[in-house]
Chain A
Amino acid sequence: SQQGEEDPQALSIQEGENATMNCSYKTSINNLQWYRQNSGRGLVHLILIRSNEREKHSGRLRVTLDTSKKSSSLLITASRAADTASYFCASWMDSSYKLIFGSGTRLLVRP
């Protein structure tokens, strides 16, 4: 089973609205990353949050991490049509030296 599970699986919003995506994971992590994938392309790294951090910002992106609940959320503020993509969380476990990806949230931003 996937270490990270995103929720919702799909999200459709109007341009200008905020989009929130959630990620849950099962075991203790060192840190968590969020990636974006445009249709038919590779993944692009967005942001990394360490296990001792609770919140991190990058431009219109805000990521939170709650290690007690084993969950993270990605907020995109003032969304644009160009934000339409799939978003993946990925957790890193030092015990396995690899990233474990969730199955992703498909975001559609309607103009």
Chain B
Amino acid sequence: DVKVTQSSRYLVKRTGEKVFLECVQDMDHENMFWYRQDPGLGLRLIYFSYDVKMKEKGDIPEGYSVSREKKERFSLILESASTNQTSMYLCASSLGGRTNQPQHFGDGTRLSIL
């Protein structure tokens, strides 16, 4: 089974801090994704990557950046955390380039910015 591991289940940070959320997958998937999930808004795509060192903006990239130095690892960076970035963050991975394959999700990081 595919395993997508997010480094923290819960995280509390302060406004203005630089925050790193880490995600690792163990199935050699080409695609990796970062979403945030807020009540009533469903999942919104922040960034995705279809290959090492490649990244593309999703629907809400403002205030975020990403890094994919190795195929198995996709990091989400909040450059200067703000309270409106308090949310559940979900990482996902899938097979094969720009194709529609099922996505496999981690258990999420619930991030609170104080």
Chain B at the A interface: SS class: strand
Partner of A92, one of B43, B58, B100, B106: B100
Choose the segment among A12-20, A40-48, A52-60, A69-77 that binds chain B (4+ C-beta atoms closer than 8 Å). A40-48
CB distance from B12 to the nearest CB of A (A): 17
Do the beta carbons of B105 and A31 come within 8 Å of each other?
Answer: no
Chain B proximity mask over A93-111: 1 for CB below 8 Å, otherwise 0? 0100111011110000000
Considering the complex, give the chain B residue whose CB is closest to the CB of A31.
B100
Size of interface on B: residues with Cβ below 8 Å to A: 24
Partner of A42, one of B40, B45, B106: B106
CB distance from A59 to the nearest CB of B (A): 16
Q: What's the count of A-B pairs with C-beta under 8 Å?
A: 53
Do the beta carbons of A42 and B42 come within 8 Å of each other?
Answer: no
Do the beta carbons of A45 and B100 come within 8 Å of each other?
Answer: no
Interface residues on A, range: 20 to 34
Considering the complex, give the chain B residue whose CB is closest to the CB of A6.
B42
Partner of B43, one of A31, A41, A101: A101
